[in-house]
Structure 1
Amino acid sequence: MRRQLLASTTAFTLLFGAIPAFADMDAARAFLDAEIGDMSALDRAGQEAEMEWFIKAAEPFKGMDIKVVSETITTHEYEARVLAPAFSKITGINLTHDLIGEGDVVEKLQTQMQSGENIYDAYINDSDLIGTHWRYQQARSLTKWMENEGKDVTSPNLDIDDFIGKSFTTAPDGDLYQLPDQQFANLYFFRYDWFND
């Protein structure tokens, strides 16, 4: 149950990786110095308060191992190389963030959904798979989860309306099933004359 609870916290998937974990406010401050600085809407006191919240929320899960996968693109390389180790140091949660090819991500996800075998605890995948997630009923509604059993581990400062592309990660039932991490714009062009002759 604990594994499912935290694995469902998709917001945390932005910060996954693999290192020994010991919760640490000094690590949080070092991360803020090295990676955030003045690039935040929060002042330094607000940033540190946010880090303290994450440490406290993660306390029941300290020492837990979580395995995440994403495709190898620059965004996810940064998450795996920089954000993941910081998350582990700050929260005390041991995270492994694997980087593999996009086709391999889809294959592992499909295998897990069809077999029920847990290959990864969380997937960072393209939002165009939202229909698949919803039809298989193997992904939980973040909307409901964040309002109910996940409330204690959902940041009170998380502003869902601040995410770009959330309409792409909302299923036909109107609930959010993924938090947008990165998005490719899909543009379709056609020859007008072919459809009007």
Structure 2
Amino acid sequence: MTLHFRGAGPVARRALLAAGISAFALAAHAQDQAAIEKWVDGEFQPSTLTRDQQIAEMEWFAKAAEPFKGMTINVVSENIPTHTYESQTLTKAFEGITGIKVTHDLLQEGDVIEKLQTQVQSGQNVYDAYVNDSDLIGTHFRYGWAVPLSDYMAGEGADVTSPTLDLDDFMGKSFTTAPDGKLYMLPDQQFANLYWFRHDLFSDPALKEQF
């Protein structure tokens, strides 16, 4: 498309075009800022961070995502309440703040594994990311098709890794670290299992004699 400015010389045309681009950029920034404040003041409360800290963190995400605006990421997970919230709410927040659309499918656990196996065996990209059980860490490590997050965050993905990310905030990280010492997954949610036992059965000599 060619822009024509009637009665304006080359310098004036460039100035007008630059002004138009600047106005567009300012409008886009204002829209991004409005989205950030909407989510910070609403869904992202309560928080251990101050409002200013939250705003700064979301602004970082918006800035880091600029080269990828308009892209679509396809994700799949098991259909449980945690992931339903991610699919229905957090995807909207992510798109509003970054401009990146996330299509988050919810399937039964067996179907998630089937999709993953299909992708591994065919080499065709079905999903860009999988939310799957950490006991698949051995599969990811042996097949070599998954990108180790620790490598990515230190290398190619350094520019899009949040400076406020603290991996020690994640519980169960040892379960998502492969034998090579690399982190392949970030724990998303966990099922808490509690085991109760009678200590006296293992410590009382009289009781121990009965077993």
Match among 128, 131, 139 for residue 138 of structure 2? 131
The answer to whether the aligner puts 1:29 opposite 2:67 as a matched pair is: no
Which residue of structure 1 lines up, in the alignment, with residue 77 of structure 2? 70
Match among 56, 67, 88 for residue 63 of structure 2? 56
In structure 1, the residue corresponding to 2:47 is in which secondary structure?
A: coil
In structure 2, the residue corresponding to 1:49 is in which secondary structure?
A: helix
| Contact 2:91–2:101 (Cα < 8 Å) also in 1 | no
Query: Alpha carbon RMSD of aligned pairs, Å?
Result: 2.2
| Contact 1:67–1:120 (Cα < 8 Å) also in 2 | yes
| Contact 1:69–1:122 (Cα < 8 Å) also in 2 | yes
Which residue of structure 1 lines up, in the alignment, with residue 184 of structure 2? 177
Structure 1 Cα separation of the partners of residues 194 and 147 of structure 2: 29
Match among 154, 161, 165 for residue 154 of structure 1? 161
| Contact 1:70–1:100 (Cα < 8 Å) also in 2 | yes
Deviations 1:160-181 (A, max 9, x none): 0110011110000011000100
Which residue of structure 2 lines up, in the alignment, with residue 107 of structure 1? 114
Shift of 1:29: 1.0
| Contact 1:126–1:183 (Cα < 8 Å) also in 2 | no
In structure 2, the residue corresponding to 1:140 is in which secondary structure?
A: coil
Shift of 1:188: 8.1
Structure 2 Cα separation of the partners of residues 76 and 166 of structure 1: 19
Return 23-32 or 146-155, whichever deviates more. Answer: 23-32
Structure 2 Cα separation of the partners of residues 137 and 124 of structure 1: 17
| Contact 2:79–2:108 (Cα < 8 Å) also in 1 | yes
Check 1:159–1:34 CA distance in 2 against 1; reply closer, same or farther (3 A cut): same
Shift of 1:186: 5.7
Shift of 1:144: 1.3
Shift of 1:139: 0.8
Structure 2: runs of 5+ lacking an equivalent: 1-28, 202-210
Deviations 1:118-141 (A, max 9, x none): 000111111111111111101111
Shift of 1:184: 2.2
Structure 1 runs (4+) deviating above 6 angstroms are none
Deviations 1:67-90 (A, max 9, x none): 100111000000011111110111
Structure 1: runs of 5+ lacking an equivalent: 1-21
| Contact 1:67–1:97 (Cα < 8 Å) also in 2 | yes
Query: Larger Rg: 1 or 2?
Result: 2
Which residue of structure 2 lines up, in the alignment, with residue 97 of structure 1? 104
In structure 1, the residue corresponding to 2:117 is in which secondary structure?
A: helix
Percent of aligned pairs with the same residue?
A: 65
Structure 1 Cα separation of the partners of residues 193 and 131 of structure 2: 18
Structure 1 Cα separation of the partners of residues 183 and 194 of structure 2: 23
In structure 1, the residue corresponding to 2:138 is in which secondary structure?
A: helix
TM-score, length of structure 1 as denominator length = 0.81
Shift of 1:65: 1.2
Match among 93, 98, 108 for residue 86 of structure 1? 93
